[in-house]
Structure 1
Amino acid sequence: SINPADITATFRAALEGSVLYEFPEGDEEVDVRLTVKDESKKDLKNILSIPVENQRNYLVPLGDLVKVQDTETPNSISRREGKRITTVFADMDPKFKGKITPLKIAEDMEQNVFPKVLKSQPSTVLSFTGEVFDSREAQKGLVNASIMVGFLIFAILAILYDSLIKPIIIMLSIPFGMVGVVLAFWLHGKVLFGFFAAIGALGLAGVVINDSIIMLSKLDGEFSSDDENFDGQIADIAKTRLRAVILTTLTTVAGVLPTAYGVAGYDAMLAEMMLALAWGLVFGTLITLILIPCLYSFLENTKRFIKRIFA
């Protein structure tokens, strides 16, 4: 029998060399190694023919003691927090820049590539860094920013109107505009929209709120509670703001649609942003022209009903 440590030492001596002694050279000491010639290292048969002494002092060829199998191994092993990691670097091909975003590539890999890897290597943990990681972190920050913006808009409207009901009426137009964004992306075959589309949706909220304020201000200024025909009066007032709201929407949409569809050059990031803004605004405006007058009518009719009860 042979000690496995002797086999390992023989391999190490053949490939790396065995230190015989240290030779002083100036302030340093240089190792003097005994090893085989470099030419012999290139031939596996030469390595396997090296004899190893067993416990009975017989020399046994190394090839009789080991089984050689060709495998692929990494040049180096990297670890993070004690776990082995493999890093794959990639840059966008210049001919695809502007046509697809890194987030889209990451989503495609997570849906089509990662499941195959996890099926063969269940213990593997796959994650993205770089631009994909930064974009996703920005998306999380955008959610928090959206909540803060919504709160600030509500607070400003509540102060201006000295009411909590009217700001709610105005801000109810935002979800309907977002429905238009989701519907537009679904019709364009983009089920999931990313960071830049979310920025476009955030800008959309401001424009939709502006249209709602125009409509509500007109209703507040000309509505008379003395007129018994509430609904007819509200409809007449809303008609006077119809042109202003529609023109605001049409000019904005006409300005962003060429970018959304790449009329003068396509950019994937800007296209998502403009697509969300344009079609969300179209849908949101149509809803605003109907929703705000209806909610205002409901509010005034509720006030009149309460007055009659307590009169």
Structure 2
Amino acid sequence: MAFFPIIFMPGLMGDFMKYLPMTVIVVLGSSLLVALAINPVFCGYFLNVSPRQQRRITEGGGGFARLQNWYTRLLQFATAHALASTLVITAVVILGIAAFALFGREPLFFPDLDPERARITVEAPQGTPLRYTDEAVLEVEELVRSTPSSLDSYASIAGSDGSNAESHRGRVDVTFVPFNERSIRGRDAVRAIGRRLGTVTGALVSIEEADEGPPTGNDISYEVRGTDYEVLGEISAQILSILQRYPEFRTSDTDYEPGRPEYAVRIDRGRAAFHDVTTANIANTVRSAINGATVGTFRHNQDEYDIVVRYQESERDSAVALRNVMVVSNDGVRVALSSVAEIEPQSATGVIKRRNMSRAVSVWADFDAGITNRAAITREIESRVDAIRTELPRGYAIGSGEGADIRDESTEFLLQAFVVAIFLIFIVLLAQFNSLADPFIILFGVFLSLGGVMWGFAFARLEFVIIMSGIGCIALAGVAVNNCIVLVDYTHKLIANGVPWRQAVIEAGRTRLRPVILTALTTVLALVPMALGISLDIRLLQIQFSSESAEWWRAFAWTMLYGLSFATVSTLVAVPSMLSLKYGWKERHAARTAARHAARAGTP
């Protein structure tokens, strides 16, 4: 039930994370089938033990017997002071939450992994000829080759950003060797290459790490919306200047592109009519001169190639030559283009993005790894951006960018999924125990597990990763209640068999101590390799002590480990104490009810 809501996580993050709950649900369903149908058969066939062995299994060995006796004395004291015990445990959990708020590290949205790839972007001024862009890309390639790094390969392209053909753009994609073979971390290599890119002249060159996993957006992101693209560029430049003041950012940029230079051919229809030249003829002549015209095909073996005729490069790149292009009139007379049209230089916008039917420009920045004061920097930047908001022209606004939207959506869903998981568990417990008090006692174990998570992350100084640790907290909601169910259910059985409730509460804790400890211990031990980053390479059949997959799941494992360990220990005291409060209140209520009935019966 706890994992079921995670399947419906929205967006790309949900497409990436939904396989975890689906796998867990299938595995738990299979284990339930094995426990109900197969294990009883195996136990009945193989588990033939003597009475002495049965007594040893029930009572335990010498070490466990001493632990059991000590726990019984603790339980007698705790149930005798049930209210105080419950309040003390609650206070410890609240102190854990406060300790995390005061001493814990700032949360991260997603694990900060060592990059496997990096992308270097070369952007020259608009209208830069392709040959100059190619020279800058070749210079970047040389810097990549000469910089010490765990380089595996690189690929470059000039005259395109990977999607659109633009002569002033180029790109170099760098790939590092696998994680375990790196002598230099990918992030260190990116920094080293980035420091040397400043020597490239004639173009703006930047490097950024490729995202690993689902897209999580940028750490800081704003979106400027309005009508005039030039005004949007001015506002985005103000925000970008604020971001560039902070050395804690490894990259900061905007998608605003200044207008590229171009020539506009404006046809004078009067002069064109005088020379008997149509607008279509003028357009076709200019297009053929610059882009070329297909005049035939050339066949070589079984392949055909177009034959394209156009002006030489020196003529295509000259405004003077463009003005002298000859256009043939309907009478066959050759007329210069300057006689029928005006050729004027102008600036044109290449790309305009829209959001909610408004033009938008994005500005973003990403923190470098290891920055511990992210929240303080974010608040400081937000206050400065708020100052810009107060001076915006009418019709313009600064809102959150894509990164903030992704984080808000995923965080809000995890909170909703946690509430839904608690509700589903509560419904199942309500149907099982036919009581309102018992489900609340059992769900108190979830509260205890969250306290353990907070204590663990606060004192271990680990980063609380919102996605992975959040899923771990939801998983704890389903795991932490198991021990509580065992204690409550066995207490009910003892009371149904005629055992007084005070004795039943203590006897249930004493008898179920072994399965509670073993259940928690096996789960915790299974999580230790994941928490420490130990994994098995199936391909090489080698044990690895650090890997990319281990970095993904480390926060999830520590969340489960801290929460389950604390919840197990505290549950063994808290649940019997709360059961004592419940049965004590019922006993007093029954006594008062009986006294009232007796008083009514004695009244003449």
TM more than 0.5: yes
Match of 2:533 in 1: 262
Match of 1:212 in 2: 484
Look up the equivalent residue of 1:164 and give its one-letter code: L
Q: Quote how far apart the aligned CAs of 1:209 are.
A: 0.8
Match of 2:401 in 1: 128
Match of 2:574 in 1: 291
Matched, 1:194 2:469: no
CA distance in 2, matches of 1:115, 1:295: 48
Task: Report the CA distance shift for 1:243/1:179 in structure 2 as closer, same or farther (over 3 A).
Answer: same
Q: Quote how far apart the aligned CAs of 1:78 are.
A: 4.2
Match of 1:304 in 2: 587
Match of 1:179 in 2: 451
Matched, 1:167 2:450: no
Task: Report the CA distance shift for 1:160/1:240 in structure 2 as closer, same or farther (over 3 A).
Answer: same
Look up the equivalent residue of 1:183 and give its one-letter code: W
Match of 1:278 in 2: 561
Q: Quote how far apart the aligned CAs of 1:15 are.
A: 6.3
Contact kept in structure 1, 2:463 and 2:555, CA below 8 Å: no
Greater share of residues in strand: 2
Look up the equivalent residue of 1:265 and give its one-letter code: S
Q: Quote how far apart the aligned CAs of 1:28 are.
A: 4.5
Task: Report the CA distance shift for 1:74/1:273 in structure 2 as closer, same or farther (over 3 A).
Answer: farther
CA distance in 1, matches of 2:442, 2:499: 24
CA distance in 2, matches of 1:30, 1:247: 83
Match of 1:24 among 254, 278, 283: 278
CA distance in 1, matches of 2:359, 2:561: 47
Contact kept in structure 2, 1:177 and 1:208, CA below 8 Å: yes
**Structure 1 gap segments, 5+ residues each:** 1-13, 40-72
Match of 1:86 in 2: 361
Contact kept in structure 2, 1:169 and 1:295, CA below 8 Å: yes
Match of 1:237 in 2: 508
Match of 1:153 in 2: 425
What is the total number of aligned residue pairs between the two structures? Answer: 255
CA distance in 2, matches of 1:309, 1:78: 73
Look up the equivalent residue of 2:427 and give its one-letter code: A
**Structure 2 gap segments, 5+ residues each:** 1-261, 287-317, 321-347, 535-544, 595-604
Matched residue SS, 1:265: coil
Look up the equivalent residue of 1:129 and give its one-letter code: E
Matched residue SS, 2:362: coil
CA distance in 1, matches of 2:436, 2:491: 17
Contact kept in structure 1, 2:509 and 2:576, CA below 8 Å: yes
Task: Report the CA distance shift for 1:106/1:141 in structure 2 as closer, same or farther (over 3 A).
Answer: farther
Q: Quote how far apart the aligned CAs of 1:74 are.
A: 7.9
Q: Quote how far apart the aligned CAs of 1:90 are.
A: 8.7
Show CA shifts across 1:48-80 (max 9, x none): xxxxxxxxxxxxxxxxxxxxxxxxx98655454
CA distance in 2, matches of 1:310, 1:91: 67
Q: Quote how far apart the aligned CAs of 1:224 are.
A: 6.6
Look up the equivalent residue of 1:170 and give its one-letter code: I
CA distance in 2, matches of 1:208, 1:86: 47
Task: Report the CA distance shift for 1:120/1:257 in structure 2 as closer, same or farther (over 3 A).
Answer: farther
Matched residue SS, 2:278: strand
Q: Quote how far apart the aligned CAs of 1:213 are.
A: 0.6
Fraction of identical pairs, as percent = 24
CA distance in 2, matches of 1:270, 1:17: 60
CA distance in 2, matches of 1:273, 1:24: 71
Contact kept in structure 2, 1:158 and 1:164, CA below 8 Å: yes
Contact kept in structure 2, 1:114 and 1:126, CA below 8 Å: no
Task: Report the CA distance shift for 1:29/1:17 in structure 2 as closer, same or farther (over 3 A).
Answer: closer
Match of 1:11 in 2: none
Task: Report the CA distance shift for 1:137/1:82 in structure 2 as closer, same or farther (over 3 A).
Answer: closer
Match of 2:518 among 231, 247, 253: 247
Show CA shifts across 1:23-50 (max 9, x none): 437x5443999xxx648xxxxxxxxxxx
Q: Quote how far apart the aligned CAs of 1:202 are.
A: 0.8
Matched residue SS, 2:283: strand
Q: Quote how far apart the aligned CAs of 1:231 are.
A: 3.7
Matched residue SS, 1:87: strand
Task: Report the CA distance shift for 1:209/1:129 in structure 2 as closer, same or farther (over 3 A).
Answer: same
Q: Quote how far apart the aligned CAs of 1:110 are.
A: 3.6
Look up the equivalent residue of 2:278 and give its one-letter code: P
Matched residue SS, 1:252: helix
CA distance in 1, matches of 2:461, 2:319: 61
Look up the equivalent residue of 2:492 and give its one-letter code: D
Show CA shifts across 1:285-309 (max 9, x none): 1121111111111112222212222
Q: Quote how far apart the aligned CAs of 1:172 are.
A: 1.6
Q: Quote how far apart the aligned CAs of 1:187 are.
A: 2.5
CA distance in 2, matches of 1:134, 1:170: 34
CA distance in 2, matches of 1:245, 1:170: 14
Look up the equivalent residue of 1:235 and give its one-letter code: I
Contact kept in structure 2, 1:259 and 1:271, CA below 8 Å: yes
Structure with the bigger RCO (C-alpha within 8 Å, sep 6+) is: 2
CA distance in 1, matches of 2:558, 2:568: 15
Task: Report the CA distance shift for 1:225/1:186 in structure 2 as closer, same or farther (over 3 A).
Answer: same
Task: Report the CA distance shift for 1:19/1:202 in structure 2 as closer, same or farther (over 3 A).
Answer: same
CA distance in 2, matches of 1:166, 1:188: 34
CA distance in 2, matches of 1:175, 1:310: 34
Look up the equivalent residue of 1:163 and give its one-letter code: S
Greater share of residues in helix: 1
Look up the equivalent residue of 1:127 and give its one-letter code: S
Match of 2:159 in 1: none
- The alignment's TM-score, normalised by the length of structure 1, stands at 0.65
Query: 214-223 vs 132-141, which deviates more?
Result: 132-141
Contact kept in structure 2, 1:174 and 1:205, CA below 8 Å: yes
CA distance in 1, matches of 2:377, 2:515: 46
1:7-46 alignment, distance < 5 Å: 16=264, 19-21=267-269, 22=272, 23-24=277-278, 27-30=280-283, 38=319
